[in-house]
Structure 1
């Protein structure tokens, strides 16, 4: 609804800036409790970067490509040399259909819960006041008792790279790719870079993955990192570790990437995916005394408050863990804190990490290297997917489930999964890890019946494997 001419609707219990997962979580929590909520969105549709440029489109692309790979790797379908092919542009059509469905659904959330949607660019004019300039140039001031910043992030752009070049992309603009490159350089081997390396290589495109560190995704368990590196390399991705660029420049229809090591790579396109910047530059936060770090991110306390008590921030704009699931939970926690106050501190330590490479990765809890450093007496239970009937039937037998548990108490300390449906499989272990005391042990999986054949059976196999190690020792 339009608010620009209705003076009585200018004051709210809460204003939420941004309609991504964090903003949605906060707005829905407050609205369902009867609070008068205004939601400000800079774009002309709701959903934020998660829906339009990040999570939804990239995962829709990944799904389509993984189905192509499964088809081409199955002797059932390729015995007559029937190879399935597609292009990045064509499978984008599937991604856009998902985006449209998600946008309509989320728009309906706000409508049904009587949130006042305001489209325009927001900036603070005071500690309780927000100025919004619409796309037509109209300006209006809104005020609220509580304000939640959920403006998300955008791809980081170094000043020495010309992103207006037709063949140099970031993780947002890559969705506008119209040509079909034969060779792409992906600079940055974080989560986004690794996911897109899987996608492009799955389409048969030559991929150079430039990693500024000495191994991929160092925050993961070492064995998972090594498995990902091996699988990408085996499938033809050229991983270049410990490299940084000297220059990235387009010349006609080619992009020349010069590395500081002296290597020069000629490609049809470059995807720069090395870091993100918080969307805070237009909010005028400096006038309020709220500090912003070099990557445009905000510092918050355990209740997600900024240095001004009634101004909160959630999601990518506060940095780690930069997950859609975490952002939504943060938004919901802030809503509960405003409604009830004096809540316990947010407990988001057991958030699973979902990485949608091909195959995908999901992790929860401690890694082996962390437990070793902390001198925790742990043991490993492992199930290789190649031994599971369901994986053999589906032809997706690459990967494993690894459970780390305390040798004495048998408490589950970490779960790490690499392979098909890893991001789904992880939630079974998550449910047990969240149980109190003696209910959280690896033994749970040995006396629980799992449907057969299923991928979930990996938990029973891994648990027996781990307990056998203790008995034999």
Structure 2
């Protein structure tokens, strides 16, 4: 009889694990509450990047005159209701595509809330109160995370919003306040600014994107302020209140910022409460995240975890890889433990910021010895043709061997341009090997090869 795997949560960590387990011959049941695809597909990644796709078009229109395309005196306006309808339609379609794939592979999807009734049993609470126990040879917990809120800043779903609630907006905000300058806050602030909405970004740190490459964050902040965004650095929110159509964000220093709408982007909390995890022997950290090792094992035998509920690195790609690794490990397939130094990530702002491997911060701290080169995109022929003035390619390599250990790309479609650097990091390619691969002329990717050439050292 084949092993029975029960996956609790249908997001990237859950459905990718289910597909791998089914491929390897296991009987698989996914217990899901909110819809296949999870928040990544239905309320977070897919919706936000769909909205940002519209914002990118608006950004291109802003620079049309420079390319000889003249826009009328009335300019271009956005129909936010239509944008959000498209966002939700595409998200639902993606969820349905995933559900069809699971069904095709023989994965059973059970609608209901799943919790652990022991390390080898999952309790399913269905709508209407019916309950069911599923026995499992292995359980994967992939319940994700939810937007963090504050007792002094309670969302109302109308004018004080979490990032999951913005897609119900029909009216264009007359002025928007975004609280939080991490990835989510920066992406939404940049996106709505591109849609022509006045934006104020409240950042408790000394710069936007404090967790990203400092040079990249500096470029982004310069671009955002040049395009009209107000960035309040070293400003911490004390409370958010609403009076009719006005939202007021009060800061801890006593200042008050008013707008028509406010988006709270102040972090995430894991969905791990009341799931029977600790009773089943699954250890959580102080923040409530599930503790896992590099093959996604928890402290309970036969119980794995993947995705945002682990707090390892909150990316859909990492969640998916954690889920796959868990199933490869449990079912005895060849498995390589998760290596965060090969993870590529992207901030979908305008310009985008993509990174992979070791960071400038780690190099400056002496965690690894590396040489670096930074090449501005302003000298790239294709960038000039497209009217791109901001951005750069930065590469890090080991002295002596020249092996590429990390990189940063800032510019349009940086998420695509980072791929050759990701391959170089994953396969331990040298700067010379990266430089000697042909690139198209003219192309943005030519700057990646040129940066690698500048890392060349004569070796007799």
The two structures have a TM-score, normalised by structure 2, of 0.94
Tell me the equivalent position of 2:22.
31
Please list, as runs of the form range in 1=range in 2, the aligned pairs for 1:171-210 lying within 5 A after superposition: 171-210=163-202
1:282, 1:48 → 2: CA distance? 19
Matched, 1:452 2:444: no
Tell whether the 8 Å contact from 1:14 to 1:35 is kept in structure 2 after alignment: yes
Deviations along 1:81-116, whole A, 9 cap, x unmatched? 462220333222232232132112101111111011
More displaced 10-residue stretch of structure 1: 355-364 or 164-173: 164-173
Following TM superposition, by how much is the alpha carbon of 1:344 offset from its aligned partner in structure 2, in angstroms? 4.9
Aligned to 1:4: none
Take 1:273 and 1:350, find their aligned partners in 2: how far apart are those partners?
A: 27
5+ residue gaps, structure 2: none
For 2:50, the equivalent position in structure 1 comes to 60
Taking structure 1 as the reference length, the TM-score comes to 0.91
Q: Does structure 1 retain, via aligned residues, the 8 Å contact 2:118–2:276?
A: no
Q: Distance in 1 between matches of 2:32 and 2:369?
A: 50
The residue that corresponds to 2:11 in the other structure is: 20
The match for 2:223 among 228, 231, 236 is 231
Measure the CA separation in 2 of the matches of 1:291 and 1:444.
44
Residue in structure 1 matched with residue 371 of structure 2 by the alignment: 379
Residue equivalent to 2:107: 115
Separation in structure 1 between the aligned mates of residue 218 and residue 80 of structure 2, nearest angstrom? 28
Q: Secondary structure at the match of 2:331?
A: helix
* Helix, strand or coil at the partner of 2:338: coil
Q: CA RMSD in A?
A: 2.0
Cα shift at 1:12: 6.2
Change (3 A) 1:97 1:452: farther
Given that residues 131 and 140 in structure 1 are in contact (C-alpha distance below 8 angstroms), is that contact kept between their aligned partners in structure 2?
yes
Instruction: Count how many residue pairs are aligned between Structure 1 and Structure 2.
Output: 456
Q: For the residues of structure 1 that align with 2:183 and 2:379, how far apart are their CA atoms? A: 28
Deviations 1:345-394 (A, max 9, x none): 33342101211111111001122232122175533333322222222333
| Contact preservation (8 Å) 2:328, 2:334 | no
1:425 CA displacement: 0.7
Q: Is the 8 A contact 1:250 1:256 kept in 2?
A: yes
- Matched residue of 2:354: which SS? strand
Counterpart secondary structure, 2:10: coil
Q: Distance in 2 between matches of 1:454 and 1:228?
A: 22
- Answer yes or no: is 1:42 the counterpart of 2:51: no
* Secondary structure at the counterpart of residue 101 of structure 2: helix
* Closer, same or farther: CA 59–418 of 1 in aligned 2, 3 Å: same
Q: CA deviation at 1:49?
A: 0.3
Instruction: Spell out the pairing of 1:143-222 with structure 2 (5 A cutoff).
Output: 143-164=135-156, 166-222=158-214
- Matched with 1:305 is 297
Structure 2 counterpart SS, 1:137: coil
Poorly superposed stretches of 4+, deviation over 6 Å: none
Unaligned runs of 5+ in 1: 1-7
Q: Distance in 2 between matches of 1:358 and 1:77?
A: 20
Residues 293 and 434 (structure 1), Cα distance of their counterparts in 2 relative to 1, 3 Å cut: closer
Deviation readout 1:134-182 (Å, 9 max, x if unpaired)? 1232211111010000111110122232223631100111121222211
> 1:320, CA displacement in angstroms?
2.8
Q: Matches of residues 230-309 of structure 1 in structure 2 within 5 Å?
A: 230-309=222-301
Q: Is the partner of 1:125 in helix, strand or coil?
A: strand
Work out the CA distance in 2 between the residues paired with 1:374 and 1:214: 23
1:289 Cα deviation from its structure 2 partner: 3.7
Q: For the Cα contact (< 8 Å) 2:352–2:412, is it kept in 1? A: yes
Q: 1:404 to 1:51 in 2, by over 3 A?
A: same
Task: Give yes or no for contact 1:382–1:463 (8 Å, CA) kept in 2.
Answer: no
- Greater CA drift, 386-395 or 127-136: 386-395
Instruction: Tell me if the contact between 1:124 and 1:131 (Cα under 8 Å) persists in the aligned partners.
Output: yes
Which residue is equivalent to 1:465? 454
Query: How far did 1:234 drift?
Result: 1.3
**Are residue 70 (structure 1) and residue 60 (structure 2) matched?**
yes
Q: Contact between 1:299 and 1:318, CA under 8 Å: does it hold in 2? A: yes
Q: Which moved more, 1:251-260 or 1:81-90?
A: 81-90
Which deviates more from structure 2 when the two are superposed, residues 364-373 or residues 66-75?
364-373
